[in-house]
């Protein structure tokens, strides 16, 4: 009979406290994952932007070729 | 050198669009890969991490995709209209590849953001709908290989190859597994 008895107040409070801790840990983990992904995305963008810029400055751009930096582009593209 | 910097400055929007397009492709590949591993047998117990990673990668993809398109409006050489970059078959520039990019560019946010409306759509219907995200991702890959300025560059091909290989394998496994499952269910019925 005692096994089926409802949880006492201290037990309930303890369970709620544990659930709250678990929720907070999960939330912190999700925030951490979001921050890592955002940082990687920004770092990737900066790295690619710099690479393409340097490639263009060196006159080795696949679309502009050696004309990069000297005159208007002969052709252009996107992506 | 100053002259080079000034001339490159004229192409800053174009460079930004190219970089954002590549980032969007890499992030979407990772998002598709993580999405396909969700629910797999060998990663049970990592559901929360996988879902959070999938969601973060998907949202980062959409941000990069938005930058990819918006930056093109600043390109003084192409100077596209809003219709050129948002409506299929309008742009005269590489019409087929551009249209493919526009279609996938609309499909990815619509299918991705439908996650937040799955309560209204219905979970089962939303799951079926969400599978089309893989098709939009494949269309984006074809768009980048067909129209991307850097598509002929070794570093681009290597990066894209490394990024798309795992999700492509997972997608093939899932498709074969799904087909077998359907066939078994049909036999049992």
As for the ipTM of the complex, it is 0.85
Q: What pLDDT was estimated at residue A71?
A: 42
Q: What pLDDT was estimated at residue B71?
A: 95
How many pairs of residues across A and B have Cβ atoms under 8 Å apart?
109
Return the exposure string of B33-42: e unless at least 16 CB atoms fall within 10 Å of the residue's CB, then b.
Answer: bbbbbeeeee
What is the Cα B29 distance to its own chain's centre?
7
Q: What pLDDT was estimated at residue B183?
A: 60
Query: How does pLDDT run across A24-69, given as a tens digit for each residue?
Result: 999 999 999 999 999 999 999 999 999 999 988 888 888 776 554 4
Contact B52 A29 (CB under 8 A): yes
Q: Is B115 helix (H, G, I), strand (E, B) or coil?
A: helix
Helices and strands (DSSP H and E) totals, chain B: 9, 0
Tell me, yes or no, if the pTM score tops 0.80. yes
Q: What pLDDT was estimated at residue B41?
A: 66
Cα–Cα distances in Å, from B35 out to A42, B21, B22, B99, B167?
Answer: 22, 21, 20, 26, 9
**Residues 72-131 of chain B whose Cβ lies under 8 A from any Cβ of chain A:** 72, 75, 77-78, 93-94, 98, 101
Q: Is the pLDDT of residue A72 over 80?
A: no
Cα atoms in the 13 Å half-sphere on the side-chain side of B58: 25
Q: Is the pLDDT of residue A15 over 70?
A: yes
Contact B67, B16 (CB under 8 A): yes
Contact A70 B7 (CB under 8 A): yes
A33 closest CB neighbour out of B20, B52, B75: B52
Contact B78 A78 (CB under 8 A): yes
- Residue ranges in chain B modelled with pLDDT below 50: 1-2, 6
Q: Is the pLDDT of residue A75 over 60?
A: no
Q: What pLDDT was estimated at residue B176?
A: 81
What is the residue-averaged pLDDT of chain B?
Answer: 87
Beta-strand runs (E) in B26-176? none
Beta-bridged to residue A61, according to DSSP, are A65
**Among B44, B30, B57, which residue's Cα sits nearest to residue B166?**
B30
| CA angle at B22 for the pair B21 and B23, rounded to the nearest 5° | 90
Query: How does pLDDT run across B66-104, given as a tens digit for each residue?
Result: 999 999 999 888 889 999 999 999 988 889 999 999 999
B180 burial via Cβ count (<10 Å: 0-12, 13-18, 19+): exposed
Q: Is B90 helix (H, G, I), strand (E, B) or coil?
A: coil
Contact A56, B11 (CB under 8 A): yes
Q: Give percent of chain B with pLDDT exceeding 90.
A: 65
Distance linking the first and last C-alpha atoms of chain A: 70
């Amino acid at each position: 009979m005692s096994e089926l008895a409802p949880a006492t107040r201290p037990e309930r409070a303890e369970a709620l406290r544990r659930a709250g801790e678990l929720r907070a840990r999960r939330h912190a983990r999700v925030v951490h994952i979001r921050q890592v992904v955002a940082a990687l995305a920004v770092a990737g963008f900066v790295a690619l932007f710099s690479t393409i810029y340097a490639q263009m400055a060196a006159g080795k751009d696949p679309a502009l070729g050696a004309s990069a930096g000297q005159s208007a582009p002969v052709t252009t593209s996107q992506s | 050198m100053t002259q080079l910097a000034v001339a490159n400055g004229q192409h800053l929007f174009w460079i930004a669009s190219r970089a954002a397009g590549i980032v969007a492709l890499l992030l979407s590949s990772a998002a598709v890969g993580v999405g396909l591993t969700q629910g797999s047998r060998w990663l049970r117990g990592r559901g929360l991490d996988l879902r959070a990673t999938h969601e973060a990668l998907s949202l980062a993809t959409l941000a990069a995709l938005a930058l990819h398109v918006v930056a093109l409006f600043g390109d003084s050489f192409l100077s596209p209209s809003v219709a050129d970059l948002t409506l299929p078959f309008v742009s005269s520039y590489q019409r087929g590849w551009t249209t493919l990019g526009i279609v996938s560019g609309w499909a990815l946010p619509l299918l991705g953001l439908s996650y937040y409306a799955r309560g209204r759509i219905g979970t089962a219907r939303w799951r079926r709908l969400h599978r089309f995200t893989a098709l939009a991702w494949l269309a984006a890959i074809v768009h980048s290989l067909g129209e991307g300025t850097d598509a002929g560059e070794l570093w681009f091909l290597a990066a894209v190859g490394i990024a798309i290989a795992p999700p492509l394998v997972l997608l093939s496994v899932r498709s074969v597994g799904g087909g077998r499952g359907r066939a078994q269910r049909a036999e049992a019925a």
